[in-house]
Amino acid sequence: MKLSPKTITFALLLCATSARAADPVYLNPNAPLEARVNDLLSQMTLKQKISQLIDQAAPVYNDILDVPGYGWWNEALHGVARNGVATVFPQAIGLAATWDEKLMLQVASSISDEARAKYQIAKLNYDTARYQGLTFFSPNINIFRDPRWGRGHETYGEDPFLTGRLAVNFIGGMQGNDPKFLKTVATAKHFAVHSGPEATRHSFDAQVSQHDLFDTYLPQFEMAVKEGKVESVMSAYNRVNGEPASAGTVLLGDILRKKWGFKGYVVTDCWALSDIYNGHHYLQTLEQTVAAAIKAGVDLECGDAMTKGLGNAIKQGLLTEKDLDMPLKRLFSVRFRLGMFEPKGTVSYDKIPFSVVDSSQNRALALLAAQKSMVLLKNEGQILPLSSAVKSIAVIGPTADEQSVLLGNYNGIPSSSTTILQGLEAEAKTRNIALKYAQGSAIGGNVTTGYAEAVQTAKSADVVVMVLGITPHQEGEENENKENPSGDRSSIQLPQVQEDLLKAVVATGKPVVLVLTGGSSQAISYAKDKVPAILATWYSGEEGGKAVANTLFGTNNPAGRLPITFYAGLQDLPAFDDYSMKNRTYRYYSGTPLWGFGYGLSYSTFAYSSLNLSSATAKAGDSITVTVKVKNTSSRDGDEVSQLYIQPKNAPSYAPKIWLAGFVRNTLKAGEERSLSFKLTPRELGLVDEKGERSMVAGEYTVFVGGSQPRDAGNAGVSLVLKIQ
């Protein structure tokens, strides 16, 4: 039978397609991962290889390869961000205020569910643009060392141990627990010694002692790498002790790779490589910069310096093509482990339905997280929860009906949200309570024309709820908004126009509850002295308004704790650009704060007893088990955050005065008593010396367990002395 030319052509094409599908090792799911990666790379030209080393990786097509492009830059700080509708959980600082590791794991698992579901839609649409992928630039685990830093609310606060524990759980929820495939990739950022000032981050050299480096700035990153098994680390813009963080052999090579054994990939902060020669003037040319970054251990650039400079760097002999193999292997290993080259239906995470996005379950979890994040700072005369005798409420303040105090930054878009005013209105309606609202003032500025209405509204009510504070427009990243281009704050006082509004309302004699919005320490000395009740609400997510209302009316019993110190002002603090930890954070601060790290009240009361150490003495290398009983001594069910602190009695001058070494959040029914157990390893018991080495140092140490720090007045807690020999 004679075949037509058209039939022959079709048959040849069919054979070629079948051979292509069956032949490449990189598409064989049964081949070892290393063999699949090596096979893929062996088919790529130098130009194609270079195109894979930037955040917007180009597609690669030839006779053998069919590699889609990929956008490595995605955001998920407190929900899938910049990718349409998604559940918006409380901002990171609010999640930290929950002091709840299990909740953090649950929140991150829900975020990664939504991420996977969104990715499946993007893949069906051949959409490989930015923010459509599975590799996320979260969490931000820098230490919030200074309240002026605009990005502090993106972090888990000022303590390395709390930050590390929360980061490990966030990473676990994002990356999943499948033995073969990653659910998504988490990226611990910004490595390292990075917490402002924002305006000079592209040229600033953070000078830091070895003690502070290993005692404060690196422990949480080490926990993320060793315990969290984080797959990615983002290098920072700044220099550290003279060496660029994005081309530093000490940070990226000696510490991250060699000392900690990090096997994942390093991505630069966006356009950080151009800073090395334009901002830091550390190197003279683009080619020198990209060569130094590759040799230091950078695998991926967020930016375009690699594509512009690598070809010439190789021509100039600064690099060889072989130098690109390791970065490429790390990057493609991750893409394989994310299941991007697997046959359809073989990756369980691909089966997550799109219905999880903005689901009722995730919205309920956002409400729970917001409720758990509420920190009750003051409740004089037990004004809260509001009693049934309250028949009218005045809600006053510029952030009461402001959506930005729900969303924070690096946020998704909720399908619906509840402002604080809306939450209070809904709750008041169900209770037959009359509610009136007056804005009173703008967030800043000096316009006082709204004061008169606010005062009259207050006078007409039984109780006044004042909603004051700041928004992400007053604190944030450099150039994030026009109101404050630097992102940082020059003052931590409540804006004067709001302070004066508060004084005018307090002068009416009506009982006032202050609901404070914002993501950082605010110096509210007047409010602490004059206002009966104060509730810190952070940037509380899409259900934040409901959570505030639930808390004020008592359906939510607050138990959040401060993840930062609330200072009375900046007068005691060192210069913003001084990276020494002396007189910073609760571990080193010698002044008197408004409220300390770990502080928070409840509508329940708790008592501690029966503290016991497995041994009253220890020597280098020993671990100690601490047991204690905690009891809910009230008639109301509630959560208690039990905190274990260590205080050295005669520590070296460079050592912290106190440090957190354990914590757990539990729900206890009225009258319930529970036994707790903490294990203190040489890590928790050790001190970092001036050379940066951690070891157990002989001396006496007070081990304290309670609901806050031991130095908080009236704190219920118990202590014993441990001797280290």
For residues 436 and 327, state if they share a domain: no
Is residue 20 predicted with pLDDT exceeding 50? no
Q: In the structure encoding, which two tokens stand for residue 276, read together?
A: 């090395």
Q: pLDDT-based confidence at 643, cuts 50/70/90?
A: very high
Residue 442 gets the label, from left (phi > 0), alpha (psi -120 to 50) or beta, of beta
Do residue 543 and residue 610 come from a single domain?
no
Using the predicted structure, report yes or no on whether residue 411 has a pLDDT greater than 60. yes
**Sign of the CA dihedral running 465, 468, 471, 476:** negative
Does residue 414 have a pLDDT over 70? yes
Same domain, 537 and 642: no
* Alpha helices, H only, 591-712: 682-685
Count up the domains in the chain and report the number: 3
Q: Name the percent of the chain lying above pLDDT 90.
A: 95
Burial of 312 (0-12, 13-18, 19+ CB in 10 A): middle
Place 716 in a pLDDT band, splitting at 50, 70 and 90: confident
The whole-number pLDDT of residue 10 equals 41
Q: Which is it for the CA torsion 705, 707, 709, 714, positive or negative?
A: negative
> Which among 215, 204, 275, 218 is positioned nearest to 252, based on CA atoms?
218
d(CA 685, CA 660): 10
CATH code of the domain in which 208 resides:
3.20.20.300
If asked whether residues 55 and 159 sit together in one domain, one would say yes
The mean pLDDT value for 683-688 works out to 97
Query: At 394, which amino acid appears?
Result: A
Average pLDDT over residues 334-362: 97
Closest listed residue to residue 428, CA positions, set 466, 399, 455, 391: 391
DSSP-assigned letters across all residues of 667-683: EE-TT-EEEEEEEE-HH
Query: Radius of gyration over alpha carbons of the chain, in Å?
Result: 27
Q: What number is the average pLDDT over the span 91-117?
A: 98
Say if residue 432 is in the same domain as residue 571.
yes
* Cα separation, 292 vs 103, whole angstroms: 41
The pLDDT tens digits of the residues spanning 544-560 come to: 999 999 999 999 999 99
Q: Are 373 and 639 in contact (CB under 8 A)?
A: no
For residues 617-633, give the mean pLDDT: 97
Domain that holds residue 334: 5-343
Average pLDDT, the chain: 95
600 located within any domain: no
Lowest mean pLDDT among 82-86, 243-247, 342-346: 342-346
Give the pLDDT of residue 120. Answer: 97
Residue 211: pLDDT over 50: yes
Whether residues 574 and 619 fall in one domain: no
* Statement: residue 14 has pLDDT above 70: no
Spell out a b/e string for 486-523, using b for 16 or more CB atoms within 10 Å of the CB, else e: bbbbeebbbbebbbbbbebbbebebbbbbbbbbbbbbb
Could you tell me which residues come within 8 angstroms of residue 233 by beta carbon, excluding any fewer than 6 positions away? Answer: 187, 188, 189, 191, 221, 224, 225, 256, 262, 264, 265, 266, 267
Amino acid, res. 542: E
Tell me: the pLDDT tens digits for 444-463?
A: 999 999 999 999 999 999 99
Average pLDDT over residues 601-621: 97
Query: What pLDDT does residue 481 have?
Result: 86
Q: Can you tell me the distance from the alpha carbon of 157 to that of 310, in angstroms, rounded to the nearest whole number?
A: 38
**Residue 222 belongs to some domain of the structure:** yes
Does residue 348 form part of some domain? Answer: no
Pairing state between β 135-136 and 60-61: unpaired
pLDDT at 7: 44
Residues 52 and 110 in one domain: yes
Place of tokens 């005013």: 421
Q: Report which DSSP code applies to 636.
A: S
Of 156, 195, 149, the residue nearest 475 (C-alpha): 149
Contact status, residue 77 vs residue 538, Cβ threshold 8 Å: no
**In the prediction, which pLDDT does 21 show?**
46
User: In this model, does residue 714 exceed pLDDT 90?
Assistant: no
- Provide the token pair at 173: 């929820």
Residue 597 lies inside a defined structural domain of this protein? no
Q: Which of 700, 618, 695, 689 is nearest to 656 (CA)?
A: 689
Per-residue pLDDT of 273-318, as tens digits, reads 999 999 999 999 999 999 999 999 999 999 999 999 999 999 999 9
386 is a domain residue: yes
The mean pLDDT of 711-719, rounded to a whole number, is: 78
Measuring CA to CA, which residue among 109, 549, 122, 132 is closest to residue 362?
109
**pLDDT value of position 22:** 63
Bigger pLDDT: 473 vs 19: 473
Looking at the predicted structure, is the pLDDT value of residue 175 above 80?
Answer: yes
Q: Is residue 351 part of a domain?
A: no
Q: What is the rounded CA–CA span in Å between residue 276 and residue 511?
A: 56
Among the listed residues 269, 275, 299, 488, the single catalytic one is 269
Please report the pLDDT score of residue 117 as a whole number: 98
Beta strands in 9-122 (DSSP E): 56-57, 60-61, 66-67, 70-71
Residue 8 is encoded by which pair of tokens? 């022959």
- Asked if residue 23 has pLDDT above 90, the reply is no
Give a yes or no: residue 355 inside a domain. Answer: no
Contact, 452 vs 504, CB < 8 A? no
The model's pLDDT over 108-136, given as tens digits with 9 standing for 90+, comes to: 999 999 999 999 999 999 999 999 999 99
More confident residue, 661 or 20: 661
Cβ neighbours of 317 (radius 10 Å): 8
> Residue 198 in contact with residue 488, Cβ under 8 Å?
yes
pLDDT of 1 over the 80 cut: no
CA dist., res. 160 & res. 151, Å (int): 17
Proportion of the chain above pLDDT 70, given as a percent: 97
Q: Mean of the pLDDT values across residues 161-175?
A: 98
Confidence of residue 715 (pLDDT cuts 50, 70, 90): low
CATH assignment at residue 469: 3.40.50.1700
Same domain, residue pair 197 and 161:
yes
Q: Is the pLDDT of residue 17 over 60?
A: no
Q: What's the whole-number mean pLDDT along residues 89-115? A: 98
pLDDT digits (tens, 9 = 90+) for 179-199: 999 999 999 999 999 999 999
For the entire predicted model, the pTM comes to 0.95
Give the CATH number for residue 645.
Answer: 2.60.40.10
Q: What is the DSSP letter of 426?
A: H
pLDDT at 11: 43
Residues 195 and 73 in one domain: yes
Q: What is the pLDDT of residues 213-267, one digit of tens each?
A: 999 999 999 999 999 999 999 999 999 999 999 999 999 999 999 999 999 999 9
Q: Cβ(276)–Cβ(263) under 8 Å?
A: no
269 is catalytic: yes
Determine, yes or no, domain membership for 161.
yes
The gap between the terminal CA atoms of the chain, to the nearest Å, is 95
User: Which residues are registered as beta bridge partners of 702?
Assistant: 647, 721
Q: For 8-12, 231-235, 412-416, 696-700, which range has the lowest pLDDT when averaged over its residues? A: 8-12
Same-domain pairing of 130 and 198:
yes
Res 16: pLDDT? 39
374 and 274 in a single domain? The answer is no
Tokens at residue 499, please?
Answer: 């302070």
Q: Are residues 89 and 223 in the same domain?
A: yes
pLDDT of residue 161 exceeding 50: yes
